[in-house]
Amino acid sequence: MDDYACLKQKEKEQRGRRQRLGRALGQAMGFGAGDGFYHLPLCFDGLPPKLIKTINPKGSLLREAACTAVAAVPASGKPSTLSTQKATAMTLQPVPPAKTPARPASSNPVPFSAPPAEGPVRHDWTLEEAARIYHQPLLDLVYQAASVHRAHHDAHSIQMCTLLSVKTGKCSEDCSYCSQSAHHHTDITPESFKNVEQVLETARQAKEAGSTRFCMAVAWRGVREGEEFESLLAMVRGVRQLGLEACASLGLVNQAQAKRLADAGLSAYNHNLDTGPEYYPKVVATRTFQDRLDTLEHVMNAGIGVCSGGIIGLGESPEDRVGMLHTLATLTPHPESVPVNALVAVKGTPLEHRPPVDPMELVRMVAAARILMPRSMVRLSAGRLGLTHEAQALAFLAGANSIFTGDKLLTTPNPHQTDDAALFNSLGLRGRPSFEALKANHAAGKTAEGSG
Ligand code: SF4
């Protein structure tokens, strides 16, 4: 038999298997042999269908059933455990996927079995598994990520966050992407420490505009004890009193400082890894990757949610991106939120001539983060201005469920609020209430999160 005939034969066998399984399912759902034929939605590798659709010969939907467990299905297509439950507790094995022709190594180097959408949250990913997830063909990756996303989150709900720079510029650190580093010659105007009332007024406005998380960032190496830290603690308390989640991005923080921030009511602490461990020294020289991990540990120990992600477009390789995702996905617990940023190349920084990030690469990062860290909020952060509505829609489909709103993200431009409102409207999205994700994570920590 030649290759073509062999393929056709396999397709025929596959079709036959699906029809037999469909018939068995239909009988279990209360339909007789003459009622029509039955159709299973396509499964991707290793995942059971979440919904079984029963369709009559004219194509109209007769019934849907939730699929809640997996069991063996013999070659006859008659699932052994499928007999009494009519609609909600069926067990079945996905039809083995047809063999597809091998892809060129560059687009799909490794065959991949997707993790179950509703499986336990894992913290033991290997680097190889993370790479296999990341390197899939983009549409397969987005499809899987969307399934995982919908199993763990309300896919129509997007959290809106506002980020305010409490102190701008003259930072001692040399992060090569940053407009605020004193090591670079950028056009930004340094601003001194804002006072508490100024910050709280901005937080009030953010709340009125629909934000449920308010983030305060300070451009310095790390938290300094004294008047400024006391002001920051007052800001945190004030933001919480407004009913907003309070997040701070203050650089390196020690254990005692993290404890004081927790006592003030801080909901989350942002400290990005930026990139993978191997590439990190090419991005920042004034502190190490381990310094970053130490700060995350202090934050976690204090019981504050960790917000940590990174930036793509720094000149890193795909392996560096995978390395960053793997580091985050093997933390216990996973970060409460994972910002995914695209470099905004700022004039005067060492990266000013970096080419813009391909939006599909950003979508790929979002999708991989979603699969590896199913319960985390994935925040579509800097670089959103370079994305069309269509690219943002794909990122939301792939599992992004938070954005930063407001015309400016610290010092770089961000889409206008009316543009975001139009985007939400056209996609049927709505703002997510505050504390929802934190509560869900907390609850999950007592259940499945601990089993992963
Ligand atoms: S990213 Fe933060 S720490 Fe690095 S230079 Fe900018 S403000 Fe400073």
310 lines ligand 1 (CB under 6 A): no
> DSSP readout, 179-223?
TTBTTS--SPPPB-PPPHHHHHHHHHHHHHTT--EEEEEE-SSB-
**430 vs 60, higher pLDDT:** 430
CA pseudo-torsion sign 339, 344, 350, 354: positive
161 part of the active site: no
181 lines ligand 1 (CB under 6 A): yes
36 CA distance to ligand 1 centroid (A)?
Answer: 64
424 CA distance to ligand 1 centroid (A)?
Answer: 31
Atom number in ligand 1 closest to CA 171: 8
Q: Which of 166, 180, 249, 273 to mutate to test the pocket of ligand 1 (most atoms within 8 A of CB)?
A: 180
Q: Which of 163, 173, 188, 341 to mutate to test the pocket of ligand 1 (most atoms within 8 A of CB)?
A: 173
Pair of tokens at residue 190: 């340094």
DSSP E strands: which ranges in 126-186? 157-167
pLDDT reported for residue 106: 44
Gyration radius of the chain over CA positions: 25
- Please give the average per-residue pLDDT across 354-373, as a whole number: 96
- Please give the average per-residue pLDDT across 102-114, as a whole number: 47
**354 vs 27, higher pLDDT:** 354
180 lines ligand 1 (CB under 6 A): yes
Residue nearest to atom 7 of ligand 1 (CA): 219
pLDDT reported for residue 116: 63
Q: Which of 168, 171, 273, 275 to mutate to test the pocket of ligand 1 (most atoms within 8 A of CB)?
A: 171
Give the Cα-Cα-Cα angle 228, 229, 235 (nearest 5 degrees): 90
Q: Are 90 and 82 in contact (CB under 8 A)?
A: yes
Structural domains in the chain plus CATH codes: 22-91 (no CATH), 151-451 (3.20.20.70)
Give the Cα-Cα-Cα angle 271, 273, 277 (nearest 5 degrees): 155
Indicate which residue of 43, 67, 161, 215 is catalytic: 215
At 12-63, the pLDDT tens digits run 666 566 556 555 555 555 544 444 333 333 332 333 344 444 443 333 334 4
Query: What confidence tier does 115 reach under pLDDT thresholds 50, 70, 90?
Result: low
Strands 245-249 and 268-270, sheet pairing: parallel
Query: What confidence tier does 210 reach under pLDDT thresholds 50, 70, 90?
Result: confident
pLDDT reported for residue 120: 78
What DSSP state is assigned to residue 74?
Answer: -
- Tokens 């209430």 locate to 433
Atom number in ligand 1 closest to CA 219: 7
161 CA distance to ligand 1 centroid (A)?
Answer: 20
At 183-200, the pLDDT tens digits run 999 988 889 999 999 999
Give the whole-angstrom CA distance, residue 390 versus residue 179. Answer: 29
Who contacts 325 (Cβ-Cβ below 8 Å, separation ≥6)? 130, 134, 365, 368, 369, 372
Give the Cα-Cα-Cα angle 127, 128, 132 (nearest 5 degrees): 120
Q: Are 430 and 240 in contact (CB under 8 A)?
A: no
Give the whole-angstrom CA distance, residue 65 versus residue 55. Answer: 12
At 313-338, the pLDDT tens digits run 999 999 999 999 999 999 999 999 99
pLDDT reported for residue 441: 57
Query: What confidence tier does 416 reach under pLDDT thresholds 50, 70, 90?
Result: confident
**123 vs 113, higher pLDDT:** 123
219 lines ligand 1 (CB under 6 A): yes
247 part of the active site: yes
Residue 78, class by beta-carbon neighbours within 10 Å (0-12 exposed, 13-18 middle, 19+ buried)?
middle
Q: How many residues does the chain have?
A: 452
State the DSSP H helix or E strand holding residue 361, giving kind and residue range, or none if neither: helix 359-372
Indicate which residue of 67, 171, 260, 370 is catalytic: 171
Strands 408-409 and 412-413, sheet pairing: antiparallel
pLDDT reported for residue 46: 33
171 part of the active site: yes
178 lines ligand 1 (CB under 6 A): yes
Q: Which of 170, 178, 280, 344 to mutate to test the pocket of ligand 1 (most atoms within 8 A of CB)?
A: 178
Atom number in ligand 1 closest to CA 183: 5
φ, ψ at 9 (rounded to 5°): -60, -40
Q: Are 261 and 245 in contact (CB under 8 A)?
A: no
State the DSSP H helix or E strand holding residue 229, giving kind and residue range, or none if neither: helix 227-241
CA pseudo-torsion sign 140, 142, 143, 148: positive
What DSSP state is assigned to residue 355?
Answer: P
φ, ψ at 259 (rounded to 5°): -65, -40
Helix (H, G, I), strand (E, B), or coil: what is residue 238? helix
Give the Cα-Cα-Cα angle 387, 307, 225 (nearest 5 degrees): 125
Give the whole-angstrom CA distance, residue 200 versus residue 234. Answer: 10
Query: What confidence tier does 11 reach under pLDDT thresholds 50, 70, 90?
Result: low
- Please give the average per-residue pLDDT across 225-235, as a whole number: 94
Mean pLDDT of the chain: 78
171 lines ligand 1 (CB under 6 A): yes
6 part of the active site: no
